[in-house]
Structure 1
Amino acid sequence: MLKVFRSWFDKYFSDEEAVILFILLVAGVLVMAFFGAMLAPVIGSIVIAYILQGLVIKLQRLGMGHIYAVLSVFALFVGVTLASVLLILPLMVRQVTSLFQELPSMMTNLQTLIKLLPEQYPQFFTEESVVGLSRQLTTEVTKITQWVFSFSLSSIPTLLAIMIYAVLVPIMVFFFLKDRGVILNSLSSLLPTERRLMTNIWAEANIQFANYIRGKVLEILIVGVATYVAFVLMGLNYSLLLAVLVGLSVVIPYIGAAIVTIPVALIALFQWGWGPDFIWLMVAYGVIQALDGNVLVPLLFSEVVNLHPVVIIVSVLVFGGLWGIWGVFFAIPLATLLKAIFSAWPTVKAAGG
């Protein structure tokens, strides 16, 4: 057994750089697993700076100095953030509050609709099944009410943390943009001088990460705005809240769209019942989803390596389970990174052989 393991080790880890890369990957996974929550503001700042770096580079290419380009992009970032907080957040809070206030009446209406199912569809529903479904619905409503109450009691520490992050994150974003070169040079000095494997992997992964992150942010904005306009024009209640959910749902491929369809359909059903308005809204929502999947995604992610849908779903489940929302967001680029590593590894084997 030991001989087999040694043979396998010599086959894949005979190159010193491969060993160092493996150690770095394991260390990165362990750090994220044990300190991911603590480092969330840092990770968020790095992601934001990574997104904004493209604008800094474009301004520099137009002849603007580095510090002025950084200040301009940072001012734009702060301005957009403040506008979102001052204009969108209050409306979101009002809609969420209103939704929770109307939730009991919505559940009552839903129970009424459920009780009518045996009369309207006797071939599918019986009185016994409807009673069980109604009891289960009551139980779920009770759980939701308890969760809302407990959340309101525990929200003070969360709000305090958000206030701290609201100060720390912009500061870190600024310095990540301003001192990007210094930081990268410092990190590079810790790596071996000969790092052909790491350079090749990073070159490919950097392209994939940049295309994916910036493309995903654009997709969230476009889908969210298009959904909001459609919902407002059709007079759907809680249009902004639902549009935000629909926009964020694109972060989770395949699964997100299926999950967010449920609240959209339920709120439309509570508002209009089974009728033309409900049908037209679901048609419009379906058109937006179809355009996103068949037009927008190919345009935004044309340079991203294609992955099989099963690989994407498994990546979302695995990385999401490990690192929460960050794992979900970076599931595809992380899977692409692993693919790049596996593709580059035989080169090391050949060099070592």
Structure 2
Amino acid sequence: MFSDPEAVAMALVLVIGFVLLYFFGNLLAPLLIALVLAYLLDWPVSFLANHGFRRGFASALVLLIFFLIATFTVLRILPTVWGQGMNLLSEYPVMLNSTQQWLESLPQQYPEFIDGALVESVVDNVRTRLMGVGEQLLQSSLSSIINLATVLVYSVLVPLMVFFMLSDKQVLLNSVSRFLPNDRRLLTQVWSEMNGQVINYIRGKAIEILLVGGASYIVFAIMDLRYSALLGVLVGLSVLIPFIGAFAVTLPVAMVGLFQWGLSPQFGYLILAYGIIQVIDGNVLVPILFSEAVNLHPLAIIVAVLVFGGLWGFWGVFFAIPLATLVKAVMNAWPHHIEKVEDNEPSTSAE
């Protein structure tokens, strides 16, 4: 199908974009952050612009309100989450030892069903892996402190880029279109389909994080679960990874509840409440928030998380669904056949 110039143009743009993200993804991280925030804040800016405000003033006002709310939230939540995280890391070995002792007691209580050697092997393997996770978390926290200068630079660059993306949106789009080929009907078709879905996805994901994280924190706090703020934040952020995140964050929630209450009715109520939150998220919130963006088979979403997460790490996981939707849009727009051009000239016969 590469005899179609529009297909060639779309393929070249996709290849160039993939190469840039793959080899220069770390350098483009501030741009990606700014792009996500610009998509998130474009609706209130456009709303104010449509009601008589200059777009530059509306962009500055919305951006100022957003960063004031974000700063207030971070200053209120971050110290609590950080303190609970440090306390959890300090109790991490104690929790592992308690879990190990409980597992090792199972063969004595149920010798007919549980093999002691198998339990010991599993405990050693899990303990080694969990201790490795704890060391990685500690190293990442130390490296984040070392990279504080980078964070400070991002805190200046990102708001500036977001402001220019919002205030000069049409100018930037026109400038980008100058570098695109003239034969771009397929590109326009894919862009029109993707733009609305990316907007829907980013806004929906932000709302989902707030609702799921807030509901989890309220439930954990009411039940007087230790590290409720930290676990609420983890549950909220887990929605960034479809399907896999919910299973991954279940382990710390269950471990903290088991260490605090043991196998008691209170622990059962915690697991029940956490399961209800996950069911409501998957069966109510996701269909409402992502009715337009998530029109993909669950297997396609899992494969997208694994593939794009392996390629680009966090950003690959975050944009796994939009990237999978992009692949689907390209497949839908790609020419599946070439119409035969009939020769309309009158045929001549030999006399």
TM-score scaled by structure 2? 0.91
- In the alignment, the residues of structure 1 paired with residue 292 and residue 341 of structure 2 have an alpha-carbon distance, to the nearest angstrom, of 32
Report the CA distance shift for 1:62/1:268 in structure 2 as closer, same or farther (over 3 A): same
Report the CA distance shift for 1:144/1:321 in structure 2 as closer, same or farther (over 3 A): closer
- Deviations 1:186-228, CA, capped at 9 Å, x for gaps: 0011223442222111111111111111111111111111111
- Deviations 1:104-155, CA, capped at 9 Å, x for gaps: 2212211221222113333332332333344335534553554455446544
Report the CA distance shift for 1:135/1:197 in structure 2 as closer, same or farther (over 3 A): closer
Report the CA distance shift for 1:236/1:25 in structure 2 as closer, same or farther (over 3 A): same
Q: In the alignment, is the contact (CA less than 8 A) between 1:49 and 1:173 conserved in 2?
A: yes
- In the alignment, the residues of structure 2 paired with residue 250 and residue 151 of structure 1 have an alpha-carbon distance, to the nearest angstrom, of 21
Pick from 77, 85, 93 the counterpart of residue 74 of structure 2. 85
- 2:158 maps to which residue? 169
Matched, 1:123 2:112: yes
User: Where does the alignment leave 5 or more consecutive residues of structure 2 unmatched?
Assistant: 343-351
- 2:265 maps to which residue? 276
* 1:56 positional shift: 0.7
- Deviations 1:260-312, CA, capped at 9 Å, x for gaps: 11111111101110011100011000000111111111111112251111111
Report the CA distance shift for 1:138/1:67 in structure 2 as closer, same or farther (over 3 A): closer
Matched, 1:267 2:256: yes
Report the CA distance shift for 1:50/1:144 in structure 2 as closer, same or farther (over 3 A): closer
- 1:4 maps to which residue? none
SS at match of 1:346: coil
Q: Percent identity?
A: 50
- In the alignment, the residues of structure 2 paired with residue 352 and residue 115 of structure 1 have an alpha-carbon distance, to the nearest angstrom, of 76
Q: In the alignment, is the contact (CA less than 8 A) between 2:194 and 2:326 conserved in 1?
A: yes
User: Where does the alignment leave 5 or more consecutive residues of structure 1 unmatched?
Assistant: 1-11
SS at match of 2:112: coil
CA RMSD of aligned residues (A): 2.0
Matched, 1:345 2:339: no
Output the amino acid matched with 2:57: Y
- 2:301 maps to which residue? 312
Q: In the alignment, is the contact (CA less than 8 A) between 2:240 and 2:317 conserved in 1?
A: yes
- In the alignment, the residues of structure 2 paired with residue 343 and residue 67 of structure 1 have an alpha-carbon distance, to the nearest angstrom, of 37
Report the CA distance shift for 1:307/1:149 in structure 2 as closer, same or farther (over 3 A): closer
Q: How many residues align?
A: 342
- 1:245 maps to which residue? 234
- In the alignment, the residues of structure 2 paired with residue 123 and residue 161 of structure 1 have an alpha-carbon distance, to the nearest angstrom, of 58
Pick from 76, 83, 104 the counterpart of residue 65 of structure 2. 76
Output the amino acid matched with 2:256: I
Matched, 1:44 2:33: yes
Give the number of the structure with larger relative contact order, counting CA–CA contacts within 8 Å between residues 6 or more apart. 1
TM-score scaled by structure 1? 0.91
- In the alignment, the residues of structure 1 paired with residue 333 and residue 257 of structure 2 have an alpha-carbon distance, to the nearest angstrom, of 50
- In the alignment, the residues of structure 1 paired with residue 106 and residue 340 of structure 2 have an alpha-carbon distance, to the nearest angstrom, of 69
- 2:346 maps to which residue? none
Matched, 1:34 2:23: yes
Report the CA distance shift for 1:342/1:296 in structure 2 as closer, same or farther (over 3 A): same
